[in-house]
Amino acid sequence: MGILNGKVVLVTGGGNGIGRDCALIAAREGAKVVVNDLGGSLTGGDEGSSGPAETVAQEIRAAGGEAVSNSESVTSLKAVQGMVEQAMDSFKGLHAVINPAGILRDAMFHKMVDADWDKVIEVHLRGSYNVCRATIEHFRTQEDGAYVLFTSTSGLYGNIGQTNYGAAKMGIAALSRIIAMEGASKNVRANCIAPVAWTRMTQSVPVRDEAAVARREQMAKMIRPDQPARFAVALIADAAKSVSGQFFGASGENLILYSQPRPIETVTKPEGWTLETILSEALPKMAEKFIPLGRAPVAAAQPAKA
């Protein structure tokens, strides 16, 4: 008996990387899976192919599971509504959505072209909106539903060359949080994961020296896509029904809970602030708690508690 017996799950981006492992693991745990993948390139500039999604669906069926494939784009609300209809027609239900579908078009912001900004926002943020909007009323009506959306450390604390990607991913974190808040009374849950894994996205980062090549070889062994995929599948299980509105990370065998923005310093002047006192008093007082511009380190591994 798997932890997802009786569940129907839609997995987007399920033809490769983390999405593929999400689909395979969910099926092994008893879920019936709609495997969606446009089958396009990393930059999303081509028409795509039905091959990747169908290959994963065939693998699930060959192992004795139940799966259908879909090669439409999450950028179309109508297409995502079609995925929901496919789940209902094929499996008579839908209980969870795991949405790692995404692309990259990296560039320094001062060199970014509009098309690269628009496409990344469309796939990640609009795509996350579409999969949630197409399913939210169904989940609320049946008073049962779970979302796992995918944010990124590029959004949570920034990454040079990824303003489009980071902005979309921070937006997804807010989307997930508010859906969780609004859905609490209807047993609709939403969480998001910032994964670190060796996928075609991480492989696309340029290698400039032998040391970088060695680091990549180590990364491929240590941060596999099945690791965040296991976490994603666990979050849609009934045993995780109390977990909602959280920002998680998964890096190798490190599972991370991220803080969420809350006030860390408030300075008050009852008589009112002037430009001069803002500069001479308020900002210097806050400065000791400013967040540095550098990338934040991944939380150190801690021994698991029994």
pLDDT digits (tens, 9 = 90+) for 281-306: 999 999 999 999 988 766 655 655 54
Percent of the chain with pLDDT over 70: 87
Q: Is residue 280 part of a domain?
A: no
Cα 33 from Cα 221, distance rounded (Å): 28
Positions marked catalytic: 165
In a domain, 297, yes or no: no
Task: Judge residue 217's burial from the number of C-beta atoms within 10 Å of its C-beta, 0-12 exposed, 13-18 middle, 19 or more buried.
Answer: exposed
- Examine residue 264 and state whether it is found in any structural domain, yes or no: no
Whether 95 is in a domain gets the answer yes
| Total count of domains within the chain | 1
Give pLDDT, residue 295. Answer: 82
Distance CA 19, CA 36 (A): 9
| Residue 101 to residue 16: CA distance in whole angstroms | 9
Residue 43, domain member (yes or no): yes
Which residues span the domain enclosing 216?
8-257
In this prediction, residue 227 carries a pLDDT of: 96
Per-residue pLDDT at 120: 98
Residue at 277 is within a domain: no
What's the pLDDT at 171? Answer: 98
Which tops the pLDDT comparison, 153 or 298?
153
- Calculate mean pLDDT across residues 207-211: 65
User: How much is the average pLDDT of 183-208?
Assistant: 80
Question: Is there a domain that residue 172 lies in?
Answer: yes
Question: Which domain CATH number covers 156?
Answer: 3.40.50.720
pLDDT at 211 over 90: no
What pLDDT does 304 receive?
A: 54
Q: How confident is the model at residue 208 (pLDDT cuts 50, 70, 90)?
A: low
Backbone torsion region of residue 95, taken as left when φ is above 0, otherwise alpha when ψ lies between -120 and 50, otherwise beta: alpha
Asked whether residue 289 is domain-assigned, the answer is no
pLDDT of residue 306: 43
Dihedral over Cα of 218, 108, 103, 77: its sign: positive
Q: Which whole number is the average pLDDT over 221-243?
A: 95
pLDDT of 223 reads: 87
Structure confidence at residue 40 (pLDDT):
73
* Residue 247 host element (H or E): strand 247-251
d(CA 79, CA 273): 52
